[in-house]
Amino acid sequence: MKALWIENRCLTYRNDIPEPQPAPSEALIRVRLAGICGTDLELLRGYYEFTGIPGHEFVGEVISLGEGEINEWSGRRVVGEINIPCGGCSMCLKGYPTHCEQRMVLGIRGHPGAFAEALVLPVRNLHRVPEGVSDLAAVFTEPLAAALEIQEQVKVRPSDQVLVVGAGRLGLLAAQTLALTGCKLQVAARHPLQQRILGDWGISWIEEGEIAERGFDIVVEASGSPDGFALARRAVRPRGTLVLKSTYHGELTANFSSLVVDEVTLVGSRCGPFEPALRLMKTGLIDPRPLIQGVYEFEDGQKAFEQAARPGGLKIILLPEANAR
Amino acid sequence: MKALWIENRCLTYRNDIPEPQPAPSEALIRVRLAGICGTDLELLRGYYEFTGIPGHEFVGEVISLGEGEINEWSGRRVVGEINIPCGGCSMCLKGYPTHCEQRMVLGIRGHPGAFAEALVLPVRNLHRVPEGVSDLAAVFTEPLAAALEIQEQVKVRPSDQVLVVGAGRLGLLAAQTLALTGCKLQVAARHPLQQRILGDWGISWIEEGEIAERGFDIVVEASGSPDGFALARRAVRPRGTLVLKSTYHGELTANFSSLVVDEVTLVGSRCGPFEPALRLMKTGLIDPRPLIQGVYEFEDGQKAFEQAARPGGLKIILLPEANAR
């Protein structure tokens, strides 16, 4: 089958990859659309050890099932959770499968990803896409779930003043979900396209220089840059909460004494719940499609990654050739 | 009056300090006992700009009141909250007076401290010491309140596995208060005296090398050292909580990506509630007196600070000469 392949920090298009076979308890899924995420760009930069097919944001269709799996999934349009836990370690047994110590992660660790014509995932990872949610929306389920993880971890009050630092792929989704709380939301947005999208959604954006120091009850750091972290740290009020929604390359230096003196709570936040994400798109309360900036076939994967990596770049969608015809 | 004085990183004993006069809304308090805290040692090391009388842990007696204050406080045995807020800034108006941006802090910032025969504090900072709580216990009210701030900020479940890193002055008090939750508590303790005190309290202590990586739901960092922070970080499980109970000299480097991937919550924690501290000492559920390692008169302040600064040093009490007679 056709797929994109990362090896030695190089991305190549290949059409010689054998189609995966579903093991018992797995489903074989034909990929309808896939999305490029910041983590994919980091895999290519070599921030994580990875060789294989990247990609973990997708919407697809179940085309076959491993031995013993019931047929109700057959032909279903699905999205899939990306963590594949072992089921037996202490984290799994405590009910934190996304933190399984031996976990495989679709397109990120030990499991071939979604930038391919087909992928396999355990059936228990799948969620049916409701009617009325288009493929172009459903492909955002995974990052939208990650945005919702903020509300899963932190109580956001309708009266809170909330700042999102960074209006990229994840920052814009976080802004959309935070706006649902009724909180007083501002988004630090640098790029005209980001500012326009926020404006269309009726969400206030501000320039970095205008941000009130110690002015926010909750600050979401979604820029992934040390400068963004420093900005977010300055913006959070004493006893406020700083949500870290991005990973950082390497180590980061911070003044921990000031975190203690100001009694700031720092919350690391990663993968989130799929069903609420699907519900919010079904009801139309969230429509992530304005984030789409380009659609490419796998053969143009290199161009797609280049566009996604541009400063202020938003969502790039990959389309298996079969669909494009 | 007699007092200890810090100036240019030097501690001196002086007997030429004018006794302070209570302004309206203030009380003049004769100090019965005072305690040396890690922050006092840091003031002397010059970590914070400070010239004047240090000391913020005390028990005393109200000897006079500013104009217009009602007499019910007169002669009362009291302890006092150390933050003196402005009452008018946004933090004060939001109900976070301990985070007032213009706050003075007893013996730490802009307000003469407790290592003196007398001090003044606003009457609203005072708490009566209940009968049955001795001076030697009451002098621990402020640090015991700081230990209780952990439970004020973080939910500690009886089934949680909790680790305290550092069994110094604050770590031991935190261990005592955390033990009240029924949680499975372990304390990383280096020094024989610390280990003996924990043993007497029936609290498990362990060597640093024995600490299970990612084994604890909640880790309290009370060592104030970068090594202690690194140890605490390794010990907290994914989705666990790391409470920072100590300040650190200078900046600290940490891997923030791993905080995000493991979805760890970091909570900075400082001053706490006085009334619960007094209640727990009154009922006898907490007795901090085993932490006392020495009692010195003000004239021997230098020796007192030296003993407090020794590795593994616990609580040193200062006694105004008038009491010592």
Interface of A with B in 63-102 (CB under 8 A): 91, 96, 99, 101
pLDDT at A36 over 60: yes
Best to test chain B binding among A96, A243, A265, A271 (most B CBs inside 10 Å)? A265
**Angle between helix B38-45 and helix B301-309 axes, rounded to 10 deg:** 110
Find, in chain A, the residue whose alpha carbon is nearest to that of B150. Answer: A263
Query: A99–B254: do the CB atoms touch at under 8 Å?
Result: no
Give the whole-angstrom CA distance, residue B92 versus residue B122: 15
Of the candidate ranges A32-46, A51-65, A310-324, the one whose mean pLDDT is the lowest: A310-324
Burial class (CB in 10 A: 0-12, 13-18, 19+), B85: buried
The complex's ipTM?
Answer: 0.80
Residue A112 has pLDDT above 50, yes or no: yes
Chain A hits for B252, CB-CB cut-off 8 Å, are 253-256
Query: What are the helix and strand counts (H, E) for chain B?
Result: 11, 19
Question: What CA–CA distance (Å, rounded) separates A133 from A139?
Answer: 10
Q: Which of A160, A256, A262, A271 to mutate to test the interface with B (most CBs of B within 10 A)?
A: A256
Residues of B in contact with A147 (CB under 8 A): none
* Average pLDDT of span A135-160: 96
In percent, how much of chain A has pLDDT > 70? 98
Say if the Cβ atoms of B265 and A153 lie within 8 Å.
yes
Sheet holding A83-84, edge to edge: A83-84, A104-106, A110-111
Give the residue from B220, B221, B226 showing the smallest Cα distance to B250: B226
Q: Does the CB of A13 have a partner CB in chain B at under 8 Å?
A: no
Nearest to B254 among A91, A252, A269 (CB): A252
Calculate what percentage of chain B has a pLDDT beyond 70: 98
pTM over 0.90: no
Q: Do B96 and A251 touch (CB under 8 A)?
A: no
The SS3 call for residue A214 is coil
Beta carbons within 8 Å of B217's beta carbon, 6+ residues apart: B157, B160, B161, B162, B236, B237, B240, B241
Q: What is the pLDDT of residues B182-230, one digit of tens each?
A: 999 999 999 999 999 999 999 999 999 999 999 999 999 999 899 999 9
Mean pLDDT calculated for residue range A190-203: 95
Assigned token pair, B319: 């006694």
Nearest residue of A to residue B255, measured between CA atoms: A251
Spell out the per-residue pLDDT of chain B, length 325, in tens: 999 999 999 999 999 999 999 999 999 999 999 999 999 999 999 888 899 999 999 999 999 999 876 778 999 999 999 999 999 998 899 888 889 989 999 999 999 999 999 999 999 999 999 999 999 999 999 999 999 999 999 999 999 999 999 999 999 999 999 999 999 999 999 999 999 999 999 999 999 999 999 999 999 999 989 999 999 999 999 999 999 998 877 788 888 888 999 999 999 999 999 999 999 999 999 999 999 999 999 999 999 999 999 988 999 999 996 554 4
**Given an 8 Å threshold on Cβ–Cβ distance, is A99 in contact with B263?**
yes
State the pLDDT at residue A34. 98
Partners of residue A91 in chain B, C-beta under 8 Å = 237-238
Give me B199's structure tokens: 């043993």
Task: Name every chain A residue with its beta carbon within 8 A of the beta carbon of B268.
Answer: 256, 259-266
Write out residues 118-157 of B within 8 Å (CB-CB) of A: 153
What gap in Å lies between CA B318 and CA B253, rounded to an integer?
37
Interchain CB contact of A225 with B (< 8 Å): no
Closest CB from A248, A249, A263 relative to B269: A263
Residue B261 in contact with partner chain A when CB distance is under 8 A: yes
Q: What's the pLDDT at B322?
A: 55
The helix or strand, by DSSP H or E, that contains position A4, with its residue range, turns out to be strand A3-7
Contacting B residues, span 178-207, partner chain A, CB-CB under 8 Å: none
Inter-chain residue contact A244 with B259, CB threshold 8 Å: yes
Under DSSP, the state recorded for B20 is: P
User: Is A91 in contact with B265 (Cβ distance < 8 A)?
Assistant: no
H/E stretch holding A279 reads: helix A274-282
Mean pLDDT, rounded, for A236-264: 89
Q: Quickly state the pLDDT bin for A108 (edges 50, 70, 90).
A: very high
B256 contacts in chain A (CB < 8 Å): 229, 244, 247-248, 251-252, 254, 268
At residue A310 the predicted structure's pLDDT band, cuts being 50, 70 and 90, is: very high
Q: Which of A39, A149, A249, A259 would you mutate first to test chain B, the one with the most B CBs within 10 A?
A: A259
Name the residue in chain A with its Cα closest to that of B248: A257
A-chain CB neighbours of B269 within 8 Å are: 260, 263
Exposure string for A89-125, b = 16+ CB within 10 A, e = fewer: bebbeeebbbbbeebbbbbbbebbbbbbbbbbbbbeb
Q: Rounded to an integer, what distance in angstroms lies between the CA atom of residue A127 and that of residue B278? A: 54
pLDDT mean over A124-142: 97
Identify which of A248, A249, A260 has the shortest CB distance to residue B269: A260
Residue B324: the pLDDT is: 47
> Number of Cβ pairs closer than 8 Å across A and B?
116
pLDDT, tens digit, 9 for 90 and up, residues A221-243: 999 899 999 999 999 999 999 99
